[in-house]
Amino acid sequence: MTRKSSMAILFLVVLVDMIGFGIIIPFITYMVAGLAEPGQPIGRWVAALMAAYAGAMFLFSPFWGALSDRIGRRPVLMIGLVGNSFAFLIFGLSNSLWMALFARLFAGMVNANISVTRAYIGDISEPHEVARRQGILGAAFGVGFSIGPAIGGFLSAPAEWTWTSAFVGTIFETHPYLLPCLASSLLSLVGFLFATTKLTESLPKSARETVEKRSPVQTLKTNFTNIGKMYNRPVVSPILWSMLFFWIGFTIMHVVLILFTMMAVSEGGFGFSEQDNGWIFTFVGIVGIITQGRLIGPLSDRFGSSTLMSSGFLICGLGLAIIPYVPPHLGLLGLLPVMGLVAFGNGLVTPSNMTLLTHVSGPKERGMVMGVSESLRALSSFAGVIIGGLVWDATVSKSGFFDFHTAFLLCGLFSLLAWIGFRFSNAFRAEDEILAAAEVD
């Protein structure tokens, strides 16, 4: 199979997996509200479910990344797809917050897809191809996040649909979010079938045979050591620090956005339903498709990955900070342009970050580097959801300087810290020398 064919199959595998992941976004907050007992803090439980996923990913992502260096990318990718399928099914059947928490914990444990697909692209790409191919993968994420939330919003609470009574009195009435979760589960199985029948291995056997074998505990210990090593490397360290801040701010938004939009208009929110929020993330996904699928390659050629990542921090941070200042009476028409800034900025940052990390890592350590990167992303996501949930519950009912605007202003502040940490470091424009050397060779 040619590299071009491998990219096409990888795109399809990631696409169906991310559609499944995106399906749960519009309703997870409403699900928590439905399962919570009277008086339970919803923000903290939303944060707990997201933190369980992120924390488990932090602990297990380096293991899967190192395992992919040893046995290959393809089998590890398939494990993640099957695991996701079971995790979604358990989540949809949850009848308590604790069961839902277990489902998200399990999903984070088995999800190896992100770091492994990034490493796969690094394996099959020449240096000058990395930015475009990371952008193509980003487009798969964008498509998934555009189609998935729309499907999730539409399939939520089918027993309440007015055009059919087929789901009334069924398990879909007692578990109103089982149908979208079932769709997620099936889509992950479709991705598994693609990976099993069409996707070839990207890492040569000779490279796998030279990787040192370690137990899971040793791998986890090594991961913490590797994180320390990465932060001691003069070029890699600023990239990781800046992304750590950016991911914290971006994840805070994931916790508080729907908590904000579902608030009544009289309280400063938008009074949105699951379907309304589904359209928000659909729009975000479309902007992500355009940015990462069509724009990132030409923009990288003209400005370089460093400039794009730096600009993305500022653009995304601005959008995050002004979300709660959109007048509620404007509804989606007012909120979508702001979310467009968020999506465009993130669309510049994500592939540019992966491109820079790919350039500064060798073939035998790429899986480890990507694993460390995804572990840090999970760790920062864990911190972000905890901060977001606590800040929201502490400020949502207050007035004055600290109110429901506070969490979004924190998002902007973390993005600003990311920009400062990267723009004024020796990592900025570091790819120029590497690409120049590659052209000489």
DSSP string, 393-406: HHHTT--SSSSTTH
Please give the residue range of the domain that contains residue 285.
3-196+215-436
pLDDT at 111 over 80: no
Residue 26 is assigned to a structural domain of this protein? yes
Which residue is listed with tokens 């070029």?
235
Q: CA torsion, points 86, 146, 274, 396, in degrees to nearest 10?
A: 100
Mean predicted confidence (pLDDT) in 374-396: 86
Residue 63 is assigned to a structural domain of this protein? yes
What's residue 412's pLDDT?
96
Residue 331 is assigned to a structural domain of this protein? yes
Residue 202 is assigned to a structural domain of this protein? no
Residue 209 is assigned to a structural domain of this protein? no
Helix %, strand %, coil % of the chain (to 5): 80, 0, 20
Say which CATH number the domain at 222 has: 1.20.1250.20
What's residue 155's pLDDT?
92
Of 36, 20, 48, nearest in space to 105 by CA: 48
What's residue 10's pLDDT?
80
Specify whether the CB–CB gap between 45 and 152 falls below 8 A: no
**Which of 94-98, 383-387, 411-415 has the weakest average pLDDT?**
383-387
What's residue 379's pLDDT?
80
pLDDT at 96 over 90: yes
Mean predicted confidence (pLDDT) in 329-345: 95
Residue 370 is assigned to a structural domain of this protein? yes
Residue 206 is assigned to a structural domain of this protein? no
Q: Round the average pLDDT of the chain to a whole number and report it.
A: 84
Of 70, 77, 72, nearest in space to 113 by CA: 77
CA distances 167 to 34, 96, 150, 171, 274, Å, are 18, 21, 20, 8, 18
How far is Cα 43 from Cα 86, in angstroms, rounded to an integer? 26
Q: What percent of the chain has pLDDT over 90?
A: 35
How far is Cα 260 from Cα 441, in angstroms, rounded to an integer? 53
113-134 in b/e form (b: 16+ CB < 10 A) is: bbbbbbbbbbbbbebeebbbbb
Of 11, 3, 22, 14, nearest in space to 282 by CA: 22
Question: For 243-288, what is each residue's pLDDT tens digit?
Answer: 999 999 998 998 899 999 999 998 889 999 888 888 898 888 888 8
Query: pTM higher than 0.85 for the full model?
Result: no
Greater confidence (222 vs 214) lies with: 222
Total domain count for the chain? 1
Mean predicted confidence (pLDDT) in 164-174: 94
